[in-house]
Structures are given as structure tokens and as C-alpha cells.
Amino acid sequence: MLEKHQIEFRERTRSFMEQKIQPEAVTLDKEQRFLDQHIKPLTDEGFLSMLIPEEFGGRPIDTVSYSIAVEEASRVCGSTGITLAAHNSLGCYPILAFGTKEQKERYLPRAAKGELLAFGLSEADAGSDAGGTRTLALKQESGEWLINGSKCWITSATKAFATIASARTSDKPEEKAITCFILDKDAPGYSVGKKENKLGLRGSDTAFLHFDDMKVGEESRLGEIGDGFKQMLKTLDGGRISIGAMALGLGQGAYECAARYASERVQFGRPISFNQAVQHKLADMATELEAARLLIYESSRMKDAGKPFGHYSAMAKLYASEVGTRVAANAIRLLGGIGCYTGEYPAERIWRDVKLCEIGEGTSEIQRLVIARKILKDVKEGQPL
């Protein structure tokens, strides 16, 4: 299933994540503290430049390996998993895919050196309806763009040195053209709202972003005017693989915790793993996680092969996130009271963390919509199903 270099990469990555990231996972969650101390070691290992070409200071790897990195990070710390996924897939990718040479030279080397990038799509009225953006960018006579609006649920908002944000480039309601901009944190008019108090992923940094009369030049525009909606959806096609990988890693962490606990916990004179009801739960967990893994790796391969993969990454994200949530809930069932309430085992943190994977970068309902549209398109065009 995996190539030799990918198997070795997993071994190295697992060892790094267990040694450097895992020990702090409980504290970061408890104190809602961002994983600042992890950024340098993650950067040194190349985890912040997994998609960036060498010419811009990156250490690029194939998408299967990238998925493995997010999976292994999330297996021990969901907050680290989402920070890596958002930076690489949502921050670096759009600049790489749609940016000019100057934009790549300006942003990617900094990103490769460990400065985080963010992605601003969601707004109060633009969640599933990605085209509902109200942020406005209006071209001034001076040639500058005047940007006003707010973005919500932005991962790494307070830390990121720049954000790729979507905005409508016309104030006429009938003109829905959306354009993306790369907005610098230190530019006048850019501000960060209060950090969200979240159920899970509490070691990641999530906040509002506000753009108040921000004036930026043409050098901040990403791609052509009006291309922003498609750029955002294309970015999400890839991002969904990494959210699937995150859910998979979290689920794997919960499953390992449950399997070990069931083998040690003695009730009625023998470990609870002697009970078939428990064995069946473990068997379902292992089977579903493996199926999710296959979907994620296959969509990664399709992306690298340049094949259309958006419907497939939607399947991978849909399935992996629902499996991750189910596995975490069943792990808590197997652990009973100690799993649910004490925080002594990672299962309850994972259960809180993994829920986001069914929501972020498109809800399960949106993934089903994307998949169904592809099915119906194939039917209409007489393609094999």
C-alpha cells in the first residue's frame, strides 16, 4: 500500500511526534495555550514546508507522505494536526497554485522558515455557502483596493503573518465576482479578534479577523479578478484530504487507547477484552480506520497524478471524519467513567478534537452534496458509475 520511503517517513514522523509533541498535548489543551514551543522543531523537520518547492526554501514531499505527517501529528495532538493542515493546505497551497513569482518569493520562504499562513473564507453569512462572502474589496481611483469585512473561525489567526482572504470585488448585489487577496498582518486596518473558547483543538489558535479600510495594492491580489471562488474551492479540494488525515490520526489515537485499556481493565475476574461485545467494537474500529486510510491515501495519489480528485477527497474527508468521531465515542464507551470525565486518558480530548473534522472545510452535508453532484453529472454524461 505504501512505498518504502513512505513507510520510513511514517516511522521517523511517529518517533518525532511521540517524543516532541505528545508530552505537551494535555497541557496545551488544558490551558488553551497555542503550541508556540512546537513551531521551531516542526519547522526544522520540514513539517511547515511540505508543499513548498526547494527554490522557495521548502522540503516538498508527496501528498501521501503529507497525509501521513498530518495523521501522525493528530494521533498524538489534534491541535498540532490542524495547525499543520491549515498552514500547508490552506496557507501555502493557494500562493503556490495561483500566486505570481513575486508573491511566491515574498511569502513562501517565510512560511518555510516557520511563520504561519492563514486562510480566510468563512464569514458570519458565508459558511457552507462559500459564495456568500460579504467582505468587499473596491478598486479606488488611486489603483489601490479598499477592503472591509470580517472573517471567522480562522485557524492560526493571531499567529499568522498573512492571510489569503476572499472578497467580493463589486458592491452591486447582482455581481457576485469574488477575488482573493494576500493580506499582511502588519498592514494598517488588519486586526485580530478575540481568541475563541473552543470545545476541542484548544491548543490551536482560532479567532476572527477584521479588515477595516485596509488599502492594498495590486501586488496583494491573488490571481485574476473574479477567480477567487474557484481558487477557494480548489484549495478546499486538497485541504479536505488533510482534514481526513487529521480525523484518521485522532481516531487511531482513540483506538489504540481503547485497545490497550480493554486488555488491561479487569471486571468480573478477567480483562474486558475477553467479551465479544468489546472485541467487536475493536474490530469495527480497526476496519473502519483502515478503510478511511485507504481513501485518504488514494485521494492523495490522485492529486499527485493530476487526476480530478475533488469528489474523492470529499469522500475521504466525509468517511474519515465520521469514522474518527464514531471511534472516539466508542473508545469512551470502552473506557467508561475514567475515559469520559477524568482526562487521564486521551480518549475524551480526542472526542472533543475530532468533532471539528465533520465541520471544518465543509460539513459532512456539503461533502455529500459534492459527491452526489459528481454522481449525477456522470449519469447525465453517460459515464460509468
How many CB atoms are located within 10 Å of the residue 46 CB? 15
User: Given the complex with ligand COS, which of 24 and 298 has the nearer CB atom?
Assistant: 298
Among 69, 160, 201, 236, binds ligand COS (CB under 6 A): 236
Of 292, 317, 291, 304, the closest CA to residue 371 belongs to: 317
Determine the size of the site formed for ligand COS (CB under 6 A). Answer: 19
Count how many residues are written for the chain: 385
Specify the pairing of strand 206-216 against strand 162-168.
Answer: unpaired
Among 122, 179, 273, 321, binds ligand COS (CB under 6 A): 122
How many CB atoms are located within 10 Å of the residue 79 CB? 30
Binding mask 92-121 vs ligand COS (x if CB under 6 A, - otherwise)? Answer: -----------------------------x
User: Given the complex with ligand COS, which of 187 and 233 has the nearer CB atom?
Assistant: 233
> Under a CB-based contact definition with an 8 Å cutoff, are residues 303 and 238 in contact?
yes
The span from the CA of 186 to the CA of 88, in Å, is: 21
End-to-end CA distance of the chain: 24
Catalytic: 381?
A: no
Of 146, 147, 150, the closest CA to residue 125 belongs to: 150
Among 6, 151, 370, 374, binds ligand COS (CB under 6 A): 370
Q: Write down the H helix ranges in 114-177.
A: none
Q: Does 351 bind ligand COS (CB under 6 A)?
A: no
Tell which positions 303-332 bind ligand COS, by CB under 6 A.
310
| DSSP label of 61 | -
* Catalytic hit among 218, 361, 365, 381: 361
Of 52, 55, 117, the closest CA to residue 84 belongs to: 117
Among 5, 7, 131, 219, binds ligand COS (CB under 6 A): 131
Q: Does 237 bind ligand COS (CB under 6 A)?
A: yes
Q: Does 205 bind ligand COS (CB under 6 A)?
A: no
Residue nearest to ligand COS (CB): 362
The residues carrying an active-site annotation are 361
Binding residues for ligand COS, rule: CB under 6 A, are 121-122, 127-128, 130-131, 229-230, 233-234, 236-237, 310, 360-362, 366, 369-370
